[in-house]
């Protein structure tokens, strides 16, 4: 079996999409026999060294372009034919010009659940491309049962066509010595404990206003000297967040690091006293899983797929009740026995998620697609 992989996301910055493809492909490298399977990694730029191990199961093919959309539409089908691929695996979009079975991964369809979370241009493009691509695909893979049900219902797809292949724990996230983590955070970012950590792109769906309000209430009502560290690359529609910062006079206790790489995140997770993830909706939610794998207490919203991911390994609360979140912060910071019990449950919950399982389920989908022609 020769599988064409749209590997362009492996050439970009560290995001959830890149984490998915790297985790899946690395697990394939351990699972697949190169005498029987080959993964042809097509990209418009070279994949950086170290992203994937040097294994014979991978074949790399770089095809530069000036237009990414035309590359997806026309160039990738041509490349798949030229390299004699049997199957293609893409993300979100499937060109009508493929002459081989196609599988696409759709992490979520939040653009249909709440359009206001997206810029008009992105919303229009997603509405035009994703539903028709899902109809073209032999199978649609997604990363949670919640997202699977959303896709079936909102895109009117047969249940047997949509397969949940949950993410695994990203590589490199594990417990570290707390004192060493504090020293590292102090040296690299000037962060003093205790602090709550929020990780993600600064955009409306992530609901970072609630994180600000929760820490503000914890400081004002419970007199906790807790800070908020907000980590993530800039997104869009940040005016409400900026206005709230001014209203709360958050300069004294808010630290914004901007985007940080994964090798920094593991230290920040371990240094944090609690991780806040108040997103209105997630198709999965990698930051809570990363935090739990580090043994850090998590407070997450009870929306979307987050209950699936967090389970009993964290605290789940409504994404519109800052008082409840402030009380959860207080409980984690002040109750040592509760904090330790939550830490153990977090580690146990994180162990349920494996990229090996993701790869096995994905391989089953490949085989079904080929047998169906």
Distance CA 272, CA 266 (A): 10
Residues 270-308 pLDDT 10s: 999 999 999 999 999 999 999 999 999 999 999 999 999
- What DSSP character marks residue 48? P
Looking up tokens 């009502």 gives 221
Largest Cα separation within the chain, whole Å, is 66
Q: CA dist 158 to 102, 138, 139, Å?
A: 16, 11, 10
pLDDT(141) > 70: yes
Distance CA 216, CA 227 (A): 9
Q: How would residue 373 be classed by pLDDT, with cut points 50, 70 and 90?
A: low
Q: How would residue 32 be classed by pLDDT, with cut points 50, 70 and 90?
A: very high
Q: CA dist 214 to 211, 244, 270, Å?
A: 5, 12, 21
Mean pLDDT of 320-337: 97
Mean pLDDT of 309-329: 97
Distance CA 257, CA 144 (A): 30
Query: What residues form DSSP beta bridges with 291?
Result: none
Hey, what are 274's tokens?
């609690």
SS3 content of the chain, % helix, strand, coil (to 5): 50, 15, 35
Q: CA dist 87 to 79, 80, 128, 273, 356, Å?
A: 12, 8, 24, 46, 21
Say whether 23 sits in a helix, a strand or coil. Answer: helix
pLDDT(13) > 80: no
| Cβ atoms of residues 291 and 306 within 8 Å | no
In the chain the domains, ranked by start, together with CATH numbers, are: 2-167+354-371 (3.40.50.2000), 178-350 (3.40.50.2000)
Residues 38-82 pLDDT 10s: 999 999 999 999 999 999 999 999 999 999 999 999 999 999 999
Question: Which is nearest to 105 in space by CA: 95, 86, 92, 94?
Answer: 92
Helices (H) and strands (E) in the chain, counts: 15, 13
Cis geometry, peptide bond prior to residue 194 (ω within 30 degrees of 0) = yes
φ, ψ (nearest 5 deg) of residue 274 = -160, 145
Say whether 338 sits in a helix, a strand or coil. Answer: helix
pLDDT(15) > 80: no
- What DSSP character marks residue 229? E
Residues 198-227 pLDDT 10s: 999 888 999 999 999 999 999 999 999 999
Distance of CA 127 to the CA centre of its chain: 21
Say whether 142 sits in a helix, a strand or coil. Answer: strand
């Amino acid at each position: 079996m020769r599988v064409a992989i749209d590997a362009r996301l492996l050439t970009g910055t560290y995001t959830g999409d890149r984490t998915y493809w790297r985790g899946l492909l690395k697990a394939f490298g351990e699972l697949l026999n190169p005498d029987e399977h080959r993964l042809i990694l097509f990209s418009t730029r070279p994949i950086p060294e170290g992203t994937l191990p040097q294994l014979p199961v991978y074949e790399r093919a770089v095809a530069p372009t000036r237009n990414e959309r035309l590359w997806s539409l026309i160039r990738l089908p041509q490349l798949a034919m030229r390299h004699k691929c049997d199957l293609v695996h893409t993300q979100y979009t499937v060109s009508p010009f493929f002459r081989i079975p196609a599988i696409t991964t759709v992490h979520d369809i939040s653009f249909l659940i709440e359009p206001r979370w997206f810029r008009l241009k992105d919303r229009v493009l997603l509405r035009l491309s994703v539903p028709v691509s899902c109809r073209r695909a032999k199978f649609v893979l997604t990363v949670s049962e919640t997202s699977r049900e959303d896709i079936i219902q909102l895109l009117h797809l047969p249940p047997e066509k949509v397969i949940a292949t949950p993410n695994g724990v990203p590589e490199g996230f594990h417990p570290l010595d707390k004192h060493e983590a504090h020293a590292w955070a102090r040296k690299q970012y000037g962060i003093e404990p205790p602090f709550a950590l929020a990780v993600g792109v600064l955009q409306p769906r992530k609901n970072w206003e609630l994180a600000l309000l929760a820490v503000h209430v914890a400081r004002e009502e419970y007199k906790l000297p807790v800070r908020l560290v907000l980590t993530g690359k800039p997104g869009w529609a940040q005016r409400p967040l900026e206005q709230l910062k001014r209203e709360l006079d958050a300069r004294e206790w808010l630290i914004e690091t901007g985007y940080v790489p994964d090798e920094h995140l593991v230290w920040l997770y371990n240094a944090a006293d609690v991780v806040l993830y108040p997103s209105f909706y997630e198709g999965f939610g990698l930051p809570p899983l990363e935090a739990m794998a580090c043994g850090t207490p998590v407070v997450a919203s009870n929306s979307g797929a987050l209950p699936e991911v967090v389970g009993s390994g964290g605290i789940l609360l409504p994404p519109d009740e800052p008082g409840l979140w402030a009380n959860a912060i207080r409980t984690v910071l002040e109750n040592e026995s509760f904090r330790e019990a939550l830490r153990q449950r977090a580690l146990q919950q994180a162990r349920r998620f494996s990229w090996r399982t993701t790869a096995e389920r994905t391989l089953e989908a490949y085989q079904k697609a080929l047998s169906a022609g």
